[in-house]
Amino acid sequence: MPSPKKKPQSPGISAARATVEGCSGYAGFLELDEVSTTSISASITLHYHGTHRIKLLHKNLTRVRFGINPKFVDQAGWPCLSFLVDASPIFCEILDSCDAVAKKISEDHGSSSEWRHAVIRNYSYINTPTVRLHIPTIVNGDTAQYGTEIHRKDHSGNVQQYIFDKFDVTELSNLLRTRISVDAFFSLDTYDYQQSAGIHLVAKKLVIHPSQ
């Protein structure tokens, strides 16, 4: 993870092993079973424009529950790309621990925003916990590209990066279909905007498994 530039201080979360290379095969990322919830603690970090930053990176194999909905856009009209995935018990435990320390430090630094938990537990609608993975959109003038590496794995286990000819949400949505399994490499970024605060899971790399 690159060292942050000198910007105004803001609260964040750190983990004892967040900057080492885990067994995930992607530098700086840890498998879920490599993380101890007792190692997650609050700290002050530096990040661009004062945005909160959580220096904790994970790899997690999960299944897409609901794919991308292209109707949600930002103020500039670009799509807000995210999708829901199933959350295993160990995944929930880690995120709940991150939630607790992030919420506390946010409140300690004067935030009065409503905290939205990373793990979604709406059992009247879905019978399993879920989390939302975000795919950043990088805009340069009138063009945009995905801020997440997209890879595909074939039935032999070979992995190859998927190259998009253009920014096409429909094409991306077809790749991240419901029930597709993915390896998700992600970081945790806190946010506090319009009286809502919480943790965003930002996908850095996705490896899409072949359909069964």
The 10s digit of each residue's pLDDT in 82-130 is: 999 998 888 898 889 888 888 888 888 888 999 999 999 987 777 889 9
Number of structural domains in the chain: 1
- Which residues fall within 8 angstroms of residue 128, CB to CB, at 6 or more apart? 65, 86, 87
Alpha carbon distance 68, 182 (integer Å): 14
What are residue 59's phi and psi, to 5 degrees?
Answer: -115, 140
Q: Which two tokens stand for residue 129?
A: 């916990």
CATH code for the domain in which residue 91 is found = 2.40.50
Domain ranges, residue 43: 9-208
Say if 47 falls within a structural domain.
Answer: yes
> Longest C-alpha distance within the chain, in Å?
52
Say if 104 falls within a structural domain.
Answer: yes
Residues 48-73 pLDDT 10s:
445 445 455 556 667 899 889 877 88
Residue appearing with tokens 């506390």: 104
Say if 61 falls within a structural domain.
Answer: yes
Say if 3 falls within a structural domain.
Answer: no
Say if 33 falls within a structural domain.
Answer: yes
Say if 4 falls within a structural domain.
Answer: no
Say if 131 falls within a structural domain.
Answer: yes
- Which residues fall within 8 angstroms of residue 165, CB to CB, at 6 or more apart? none
Tell me if 189 sits within 8 A of 51, measured CB to CB: yes
Alpha-carbon distances of 151 from 25, 29, 157, rounded to whole Å: 14, 16, 12
What is the pTM (predicted TM-score) of this model? 0.77
Say if 152 falls within a structural domain.
Answer: yes
